[in-house]
Structure 1
Amino acid sequence: MRKDELLDAAEELLCDQGSAALTLAAVADRAGVSKGGLLYHYGSKEALIKGMVERLIDDFDELVSTQPGQTYTERYLGATLAAVRSGRLRRWAVVTGASGNLFLLAPLREAMARWHREELGEEPDPRASQIVRLACEGLWDVASHDPELNSEDDLQELESRMKALLKPRPS
């Protein structure tokens, strides 16, 4: 069994039944493997949760890398909007909510620091880029709790306005 299949089973369990239902036995059962098979890859519930957090980070990094844009912030904005539009946010909400432990969220804190510092000094207007990245975080957070809040027209308008902030100002 691949690690991704175990992580998928854990995420599905979280989405369907909440963090109280996340036990190694329940994940193994959902994945169709023995508990020993699960423990071979993830020696504890904490290791499993950390694996889910790390995979979410990797997924977002991949999404950023595939977005069009000349600057990191343009790609970050595109990735955020793609995540909002696709409904990927529920995974983030349930996984990070299940951790309940600062140690388990350490990879996410490190990724956030990297995402908000990445190439910032290389941006045409670093402060505008910082504002857009922070706005993306707010959009992400609100959309994870209320995915129906913004229509596609709303998202297009938000995207247009944030991209306008990123345009270099005349000297």
Structure 2
Amino acid sequence: MRRDELLDAAEELLSDLGSTALTLSAVADRAGVSKGGLLYHFATKDALIKAMVERLIEEFDDLVAAQPDATYTERYLGATLVAVREGKLRRWAVVTGASGNTYLLAPLREAMARWHREGLDDEPDPVASQIVRLACEGLWDLASHDPELNGDEALGALDARMRALLKPPS
């Protein structure tokens, strides 16, 4: 079994049963592998959680990079909307909620700092860019708790309004 399949099984377990259900035995059972097969990839529960957090960061970085050429904030906004529309943000709440260990969440804190500082000085209006990035954070949080709140029409309106904020004043 591949590493990503094990991480998928752990995320599904967290989503279905909560953080108290996340044990190596339960993940192995969910993935349909022996505990030894799981231990080959993840020697501890902490290693498993850290790998889930790192994968989420990498996936979001990939979403940002895949956006059309634009300012960093426009790409960040586009990536956020893709993640919301595809239901990827629910995993953020589940995985980050699985760890009470601040060491395991350190990569996420570092990524968040990077995402919120990246290219800010190169933006036409750094304050508007910061507002849009913070609004994306709110959208992430809401989408992780109530994915049905904003349908395509509402997300389109939010996208248009936030992009309008990013236009330099005339």
Shorter chain as denominator, the TM-score bin is over 0.9
Q: Given the alignment of the two structures, is residue 43 of structure 1 paired with residue 43 of structure 2, yes or no?
A: yes
Matched residue of 2:98: which SS? helix
**Moved runs in structure 1, 4+ residues, more than 3 A?**
none
Structure 2-normalised TM-score? 0.96
Q: Which residue of 2 is the match for residue 114 of structure 1?
A: 114
Task: Give distance in 2, aligned partners of 1:84 and 1:41.
Answer: 30
Q: Separation in 1 of the partners of 2:92 and 2:59?
A: 11
Tell me which residue corresponds to 1:27.
27
Instruction: Look up the match of 2:74.
Output: 74
Q: Deviations over 1:107-133 (max 9, x none)?
A: 110000000011111111111111100
1:130-141 aligned within 5 A: 130-141=130-141
Q: Percent of pairs identical after alignment?
A: 78
> Deviation of residue 69 (structure 1)?
4.1
Unaligned runs of 5+ in 1: none
For residues 156-171 of structure 1, the aligned pairs below 5 Å read 156-170=156-170
Query: CA–CA distance in 2 between the matches of 1:38 and 1:143?
Result: 31
Code of the aligned partner of 2:119? E
Displacement, 1:135?
Answer: 0.6
Rounded to whole Å, the distance in 2 between the matches of 1:114 and 1:2 is 30
Task: Give the TM-score, by structure 1 length.
Answer: 0.95
Cα separation, 2, equivalents of 1:151 and 1:31: 32
Kindly provide the amino acid, as one letter, of the partner of residue 80 in structure 1.
T
How much is the aligned-residue C-alpha RMSD, in angstroms?
A: 1.1
Task: Report the CA distance between 1:32 and its aligned residue.
Answer: 2.0
Structure 1 position 155, deviation (Å): 1.1
Partner of 1:60: 60
Shift in Å, 1:45: 0.3
Letter in 2 for 1:122: D
Q: Which residue of 2 aligns with 1:83?
A: 83
Q: Which sections of structure 2, spanning at least 5 residues, go unmatched?
A: none
